[in-house]
Amino acid sequence: MAMSNSIFSFLLFLCPSLLIMARADLPGTWEVVVANAGIASMHTAVTRFNTVVLLDRTNIGPSRKMLRKGHCRNDPYDPVLKHDCYAHSVLLDLHTFQIRPLTILTDTWCSSGQFLPDGTLLQSGGDLDGVRKFRKFTPCKFTELCDWEELQNMELSQGRWYATNQILPDGSVIIVGGRAANSVEFFPPRHGGAVHFPFLAEAEDNQMDNLYPYLHLLPNGNLFIFANNKAVLYDFNKNFLVRDIPLLEGGPRNYPSAGSSVMLPLEGDFSTAVIVICGGAEYGAYIQKSVDTPAHGSCGRIVATRPDSVWEMEDMPFGRIMGDMVMLPTGEVLIINGAQAGTQGFEMGSNPCLYPVLYRPDQPLGLRFMTLNPGSVPRMYHSTANLLPDGRVLIAGSNPHYFYKFAAEFPTELRIEAFSPEYLAADKANIRPVLVESPETIRYGEGFDVFVTVLLPVVGVVEVNLASAPFATHSFSQGQRLVKMGVTSALPESDGRYRIGCTAPPDGRVAPPGWYMVFAVNQGVPSVARWVQLFS
C-alpha cells in the first residue's frame, strides 16, 4: 500500500537519496516528445486522425509559433497585439510529432468543448470577444489542411466563461454554467435559449467555486452535475431535478479550488454508474491568495445510480490541486499534474506534485492508490492530460502567469511529454495484444467481431473497451468515458489470430454517438487502439 504523503515527505527529509531510489523503483516512464510546441496548451483534445488539437487564449501577446503567411489576426480590441501573427492553437501529429499552426480568431480563455458525432470538435465560449462564440474544428490528416471555423450564423444565448460541455444521447451538446451564467443551454440551440438552473446559484460562494462544474452522463439518461461540494441528478429534457446528492465533505472541489472527477467504467448490464472526485483547495485559499495553503488529499466515491447513495471517503498519497484524472483503457485511473498547495489562478499555486498516482477501483478501500514514477517538469495552472491511442498519456501545458513568462520559478511550459503506465513496460510485451482488425462503424446493440494477435497464448477473456476522446481543460476532461463491451471467450483462428465476439453498447445513454478509441485488453495490458464510429 502506498505510504501517506506526510510519511513519504518525512522520509525524504531524513534521506534525500530515497528520492533517487523511488524514481528507479516506481512504475511508469516519461519522455519528452516535443521540445517546443510553440504554445502552452490550456485545452487539449485528441482527434480520430491521431492528431492533437492544442489551444491557448488569444490575448497573451507573442507565442513561440508563427501563423502561416497571410493568416495574421487583426483585432483592434486585443489588449496586447492589434495585429497578431502568432499562433495560439496548433495541431500535433502523433506519428511524426510535428507541429503546425492553427488560426483562432476570438478569445478562448477558459472556454469549453466537446466532440460531435461526426468527429468535429465543437468549442464554445471564452472571454471578451469569444464569450458567446461557437467554433468548430473539423479534423483531417496532418498532411491536409484544416483549421478553426468561427460560426457566424449562431451564438450562445448567454456568455459562457468557465462552462462545461457534455455530449448527450441524441448527439446534441449541453453547455452548463460559467461565470455569471447560472443556466444551461444546448448545441444545436434549442427553442427558448438558455434555461435557468438554480442549482448553480446555490453552489456559488464568494470565490465562485461553482465554475467548470463536473458533468457525467449516467446510463439511465440523467446528468450527474457537481459544483463546489454539491451535486444533483438532472433530467435535462424536462428541466427537472431528479434528486439531490449528499454533500461531499472536504471543501470545494471545482474551479478555482480544483480537484478532478471521473465516472468509472460502465460495464455489465450498464445499470450502475460510480463517480469519483479527488483533491481540491482549502476554502479561502483563492480569495486570500494563499499560495502555501496545503491542498486536500481526500477522494469521494459514490454510486450515482443508487437512490440511497452516500459518499465513501478515502485519501490519496498526496494532497493535490489542479490534478488531471485520466481514464486508462484498463479501467484504472491515472491522477497526474498539479500542485500540493495554493489554488487555481495566476501565480497562486506552489509545491508541484510531480508524482502521478494510479487509482485501482477494483481494490478494497485503503488499497486503491499506487504512487508512480515522478516526472521532472512542474505542471501547474493550465496544464492538461489526455489518453493517446497507443496507451500513453500526453501531458501538455502549464502557464501559471498572465502572459508567457520563462524567467520564473514555474516558467511557461512549451514542452510536451508522454507518460507510459506500467502496462507498457518491456516485460509486458509478450502479453500485449495487437488489434489487427475491427469494424470502422458499429451500431447500438449489434454483435461484431474484432481480431487480435498476441505472442503468448491468451489466458481468460480479452476485454474490448471503448474510450472517448474528451476535451481536457482546467483539471477536468469534458465528455470522458470508458465502456467495457460484452465479449465472449477468445477463439483461436487457423491463421494464429483470435476472434473476439463483442456486443456494442445498447444506446446513447451508455455511450453517446461519436468516434471512440477501441482497445483490446489482455491481462491488464491494452493494445494500440483503432478508431470506430458508434451510431444508431
How do residues 299-308 score in pLDDT, each as one tens digit? 999 999 999 9
468 part of a folded domain: yes
Does residue 442 lie within any of the structural domains?
A: yes
Domain assignment present for residue 505? The answer is yes
Q: What is the pLDDT of residues 178-215, one digit of tens each?
A: 999 999 999 999 988 999 999 999 999 999 999 999 99
- What is the domain-level CATH number for residue 528? 2.60.40.10
Question: Is the N-terminal amide bond of 470 cis, ω within 30° of 0?
Answer: no
Q: In whole angstroms, what is the distance from residue 314 CA to residue 301 CA?
A: 8
pLDDT of residue 5: 43
The DSSP letter of residue 21 is H
pLDDT at residue number 195: 96
Q: Each residue of 35-72: pLDDT tens digit?
A: 999 999 999 999 999 999 999 999 999 999 999 999 99
What integer pLDDT is reported at residue 24 of this predicted model?
A: 61
H or E segment and range at residue 202: helix 198-202
- The residue whose grid cell reads 531510489 is 21
Provide the 10 A C-beta neighbour count for residue 316: 26
Q: Which of 50, 27, 107 is nearest to 517 (CA)?
A: 50
Query: What pLDDT was estimated at residue 16?
Result: 41
Answer whether residue 219 is part of any domain: no
Which DSSP letter does residue 210 get? T
Secondary structure of 472-521 as H, E, C letters: EECCEEECCCEEECEECCCEECCCCCEEEEEECCCCCCCCCCEEEEEEEE
Residue 8 has pLDDT above 70, yes or no: no
Does residue 445 belong to any structural domain of this protein? yes
Domain total for the chain?
Answer: 1
**Residue 226's pLDDT band (boundaries 50, 70, 90)?**
very high
The pLDDT of residue 19 is above 60: no
So what's the pLDDT on residue 23? 65
Judge whether 330 lies within some domain: no
Does the pLDDT value for residue 85 go beyond 70? yes
User: What pLDDT score does 77 carry?
Assistant: 86
The pLDDT > 90 percentage for the chain reads 93
Would 460 be classed as within a structural domain? yes
What pLDDT, on the 0 to 100 scale, is given for residue 488? Answer: 85
Which residues pair with residue 525 across a beta bridge?
Answer: 522
pLDDT of residue 490: 86
Is residue 514 scored above 90 in pLDDT?
A: yes
Does position 168 have pLDDT exceeding 80, yes or no?
Answer: yes
Band (pLDDT 50/70/90 cuts) for residue 15 is very low
Whole-number Cα distances in Å, 491 to 263, 499, 525: 32, 5, 19
Give the predicted TM-score (pTM) of the model.
Answer: 0.95
Residue 520: give the domain boundaries.
427-535
76 domain residue, yes or no? no
